Chain A
Amino acid sequence: MEIRVERAGDVELVEPHGRIDSASAKEFGDHLTAAINSGSLRLVVDLKHILYISSAGFRSLLIARKLVDQTGGTLILCGLSAEVKRTFELGAFTELFTICATRDEALAKAR
């Protein structure tokens, strides 16, 4: 899957494209893990190009969240479409993640 990366100061912005499902979740998860392990402790994941996220996708986010907690970093999500937000709400994932409406808000919060 296509994953675009940008740096905004000491915040790493990750922008995956397409679907995060059983085919792509491992690649997505590995990318986040690598970023955190190489010292990027402030991560913003912009999901605006994500059409669909499956349970495998949620698991990769949960694993990243746990790693970020262990290393004292921050993980913020933004750009959730209405459809994706609904899936988050169903599993009450909204309680587990810091979710911002826009990228700017997320970047501000990450600093």
Chain B
Amino acid sequence: MSGQDSLSIASTTPRILVVDDNDDNRYTLMLYLDLEGYTDIAIAHDGEEAIARLSEDRFDLVLLDVMMPKIDGYGVLTWLKGQQRLNGLPVIMISALDEIASVVRCIELGAVDYLAKPFNPVLLRARLGASLEKKRLQDEIRAHLTRLEEELEAARRLQMSMLPDAFPPPSSERPAEIFAMMEPARQVGGDLYDFFYIDAARLCFLIGDVSGKGMPAALFMARTKSLIRIVTEFAEAACGGTADAAGIIGRVNRELCQNNSDMMFVTMFFGLLDTRTGALAFCNAGHNPPYRLKKDAVTALDGARGLILGVAPDAVYETGHVALDPGDTLYVFTDGVTEAENAAFEQFAEDRLEAVLRAASGLPSADLVKSVSAALSAFVGTAAASDDITMLAVRVGAA
């Protein structure tokens, strides 16, 4: 595919603009250029005409004289400097041998090279060839980068659309409310969250963090997310409504270990919540423990810790159990939150997070998540994001 694109760029004859007020110079140059096979030539008699031509048409190279009436070589160069669009256009000065000082000034103004008079056809070929090749490569690189950017953007849209963004309000059948957000550090990220009801009242939710960032992590994330959903659905069907968290995670782990010679792994917190009773069954595969929020009290939910997923096919997991009370919120997050850095390389850390959570503990999930997100943004300021940031909050007995 890319082979075709570079072929079309290479086979286009370069378009050259010759700018000189002297008829003999122009004639000689045109002759030599023609002999070298450059047949697409335009001419300008002075700087003013040159600027007009450059404004209207696209050129691959300019041969520019210094001394000309109306606008001279320096004038054209100065004008070119101000044209963003013409940034990569190579300009070769045509000069008499005793004008080196002026040539130096032109190079400082942006010209890339010079050709002394009387013109030497061998030097002309070499200098033109070098500049044109450089421009061709620059154009190719720019086109390639644009394609890559577009692909990454498309991947980003695809990845974001994989994450559920519809957060249904609590109801009498499902008296829990949930909210989540994910911000990748680059266009695509390795964090994930998911939630779905496996029956009338039982909610499955999870958060995960794939090792690394960017495209490889995003691919592994997509694989993990699909696996969880399918395995959970099948486990639920096979066990007649009593799917076990540890069993699901164990099965997903075995599958992720397949065809994984690069040792990609994912940490995960996985929960099965009965929204009517608040009973939570959970499994933690190498992930930072979530926080359980009661009114003004924030405690880590430890327990049921197992190995990260994807590296040891025989890993055994256990299911933890906790009874959440009405009004309790479970806040799950990835380490991108606690490890977010500001410009002074300080980390947000657990203390700040706990303080924000304590202050927001009575709020609905959406407000809680947004409040942490706002505190994070304020802390990080203008520093670049170093890791994906993901969080999910589920509140029990909200209806």
Contact A59 B286 (CB under 8 A): no
| B window 311-340: CB within 8 A of A | 311-312
Which range holds the interface residue count of chain B?
Answer: 10 to 19
B263 close to A92 (CB less than 8 A)? no
Given the contacts A90-B288, A96-B312, A63 and B212 also touching, CB distance less than 8 Å: no
Q: Do B307 and A92 touch (CB < 8 A)? A: yes
The reply to whether B311 and A90 contact each other, CB–CB distance below 8 Å, is no
Those of A63-79 within 8 Å (CB) of chain B: 63, 66
Q: Are A62 and B265 in contact, with the CB atoms below 8 A?
A: yes
Q: How far is the CB of A65 from chain B (nearest CB, A)?
A: 9
In the complex, what residues of A have CB within 8 A of residue B308's CB?
91-93
Contact between chains at B311 and A22 (CB < 8 Å):
no
> A-side binding surface: helix, strand, loop or mixed?
helix
Could you tell me if B212 and A55 are in contact, using CB atoms closer than 8 angstroms?
Answer: yes
A92 touches B306 (CB 8 A): yes
In the complex, whether B219 has a CB less than 8 A from a CB of chain A is no
Which of A63, A91, A93, A96 counts the most B-chain CB atoms under 10 A from its CB? A91
A66:B263 contact, CB within 8 angstroms = yes
Answer yes or no: A6 CB below 8 A from chain B CBs.
no
A interface footprint on B280-314 (CB within 8 Å = 1, 0 otherwise): 00000111100000000000000001111001100
In the complex, the chain A residue whose C-beta lies closest to that of B284 is A92
Interchain CB contact under 8 A, B307 and A95? yes
13 pairs from A and B in contact (CB 8 Å cutoff):
A22-B212, A55-B212, A56-B212, A58-B211, A58-B265, A59-B212, A63-B261, A90-B267, A91-B265, A92-B305, A93-B286, A95-B307, A95-B312
> Per-position contact with A for B255-278: 1 when CB-CB < 8 Å, else 0?
000000111110100000000000
CB pair B286–A91 under 8 Å, yes or no, is yes
**Chain A hits for B285, CB < 8 A:** 92
Contacts of A66 in B (CB 8 A): 261, 263
Asked if A91 and B263 sit within 8 Å, CB to CB, the answer is: no
A64's nearest neighbour on chain B, judged by CB, is B263
Answer whether A92 and B286 are a contact pair too, CB < 8 Å, given A22-B212, A58-B211: yes
Contacts of A91 in B (CB 8 A): 265, 267, 286, 307-308
Among candidates B213, B288, B305, B311, residue contacting A62 with C-beta atoms closer than 8 Å: B311
CB contacts (< 8 Å) of B261 on chain A: these are 63, 66
Within 8 A of A (CB), among B366-385: none
Q: Which of B42-62 contact A (CB under 8 A)?
A: none
Interface residues as binary, A31-63 with B (CB distance below 8 Å gives 1, 0 otherwise): 000000000000000000000000110110011
A55 and B287 CA atoms in complex are apart in Å by: 12
When A and B form their complex, which 5 residue pairs have the shortest distance between CB atoms, in order from nearest?
A: A55-B211, A91-B286, A62-B263, A92-B307, A91-B308
B263 / chain A contacts, CB cutoff of 8 Å: 59, 62-63, 66
Q: In this complex, what residue of B is CB-closest to A56?
A: B212
**Chain A nearest CB, measured from B260 CB (Å):** 10
Q: Quick one: which of A59, A92, A95 contacts B262, CB cutoff 8 A? A: A59
Is the pair A96, B307 in contact by a Cβ cutoff of 8 Å? yes
Contact B262 A63 (CB under 8 A): yes
A63 to B264, alpha carbons, bound, how many Å? 10
Q: Is A59 a contact of B306 with CB atoms below 8 Å? A: no
Among A55, A62, A92, residue most surrounded by chain B Cβ atoms (within 10 Å) = A55
